[in-house]
Amino acid sequence: MRPGEVWLVGAGPGGPGLVSLLAYHALGQADVIVHDALVSPDLLALAPRRTQRVFAGKRGGKPSPRQADISLQLIELALGGKRVLRLKGGDPFMFGRGGEEAGALATAGVPFRIVPGISAGLGGLAYAGVPITHRDTNQTVLFLTGHDEAGAVPGAIDWPAVAHAAPVIVMFMAVKHLGSIADKLLAAGRDPQDRIAVVSHAATPQQSVIETTLAEAHALGDVPTPAIVVLGPVSSYRQSLDWYVGEARKHVFG
Burial state string for 153-166 with b = 16 or more CB within 10 A and e = fewer than 16: bbeeeebeebbeeb
250 within some domain:
no
Which residue range forms the structural domain that includes residue 132?
A: 121-241
Please check whether residue 246 lies inside any domain of the structure.
no
Q: How many helices (H) and strands (E) does the chain have?
A: 9, 10
In residues, how long is the chain?
254
Higher pLDDT among residues 252 and 141, named by residue? 141
DSSP assigned state of 167: S
- Where is the domain boundary, 95, 118, 141? 118
Q: Is the pLDDT of residue 61 over 60?
A: no
How many structural domains does the chain have?
Answer: 2
Instruction: Specify whether 190 is located in the same domain as 161.
Output: yes
Task: Give strand ranges (E) for 28-83.
Answer: 32-35, 52-55
Question: What's residue 150's pLDDT?
Answer: 85
In the chain, % of residues over pLDDT 90: 89
Is the pLDDT assigned to residue 221 strictly greater than 90?
no
Are residues 94 and 69 in contact, defined by beta-carbon separation less than 8 angstroms? Answer: no
* pLDDT for residue 43: 95
Please indicate, yes or no, whether residues 92 and 134 belong to a single structural domain of this protein.
no
CATH number at residue 230: 3.30.950.10
Say whether both 75 and 146 belong to one domain: no
pLDDT category, 59, cuts 50, 70, 90?
low
- 246 pLDDT higher than 90: no
Domain check: are 56 and 132 in the same one? no
Structural domain contains residue 77: yes
Is residue 11 domain-resident? yes
For residue 1, being part of any structural domain is answered with: no
Residues 135 and 163 in one domain: yes
In terms of domains, do 46 and 108 share one?
yes
Q: How far apart are CA 252 and CA 238, in angstroms?
A: 19
DSSP structural state of residue 90: B
Q: What is the pLDDT of residues 102-139, one digit of tens each?
A: 999 999 999 999 999 999 999 999 999 999 999 999 99
Task: Round to whole Å and give the CA distance between 154 and 145.
Answer: 8
d(CA 87, CA 84): 9
Does residue 26 contact residue 115 with C-beta atoms inside 8 Å?
yes
* Residue 100 confidence (pLDDT): 96
Q: Which of 118, 140, 171 is the last residue of a domain?
A: 118
**3-state DSSP helix/strand/coil percent for the chain, to nearest 5?**
35, 20, 45
Convert the pLDDT of each residue in 16-46 to its tens digit: 999 999 999 999 999 999 999 999 999 999 9
| pLDDT score at 245 | 87
Same domain, 100 and 141: no
Write down the pLDDT at residue 253.
Answer: 59
Residue 72 sits in the same domain as residue 131: no
Q: Which long-range contacts (CB under 8 A, 24 or more apart) does 181-185 make?
A: 181/146, 181/153, 181/217, 182/214, 182/215, 182/217, 182/218, 184/153, 184/159, 185/159, 185/214, 185/231
Catalytic residues: 36, 58, 173
CATH assignment at residue 98:
3.40.1010.10
Residue 159 lies in a domain: yes
Q: Answer whether residue 184 is part of any domain.
A: yes
Shared domain check, 166 and 112: no
DSSP string spanning 94-132? SSSSHHHHHHHHHHHT--EEEE----IIIIIHHTTT--S
Cβ contact 125:235 at 8 Å: no
Q: Do the domain assignments include residue 251?
A: no
